[in-house]
């Protein structure tokens, strides 16, 4: 269940886990050196944190970060 290359939605579906997402925060941040290296851009980073809830318990806490430039036309 902890392989990073498997989307979380696919894992939940495979195991028939009914869940919901609870957004905790959304922000825009300047990229640190690690993010510049990973994404090869100095674009501001969009970040969100959320919990995946199953049977009223937090199953997973996630933080996702993406360059803003991925979402521009």
Q: Per residue in 17-70, pLDDT tens? A: 999 999 999 999 999 999 999 999 999 999 999 999 999 999 999 999 999 998
Ramachandran area for residue 37 (φ above 0: left; ψ -120 to 50: alpha; else beta): alpha
Write the DSSP symbol of residue 6.
Answer: S
What does residue 71 show for φ and ψ, rounded to 5 degrees? -110, 5
All structural domains of the chain with their residue ranges: 21-71
What is the pTM (predicted TM-score) of this model? 0.77
Instruction: Sort 51 into a burial class: Cβ within 10 Å, 0-12 / 13-18 / 19+.
Output: middle
């Amino acid at each position: 269940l902890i392989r990073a290359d498997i989307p979380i939605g696919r894992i939940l579906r495979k195991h028939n886990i009914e869940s919901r997402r609870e957004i905790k925060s959304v922000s825009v941040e300047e990229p640190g050196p690690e993010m510049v290296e990973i994404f090869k851009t100095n674009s501001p980073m969009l970040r969100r944190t959320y919990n995946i809830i199953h049977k009223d318990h937090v199953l997973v806490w996630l933080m996702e970060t993406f360059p803003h430039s991925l979402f521009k036309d």
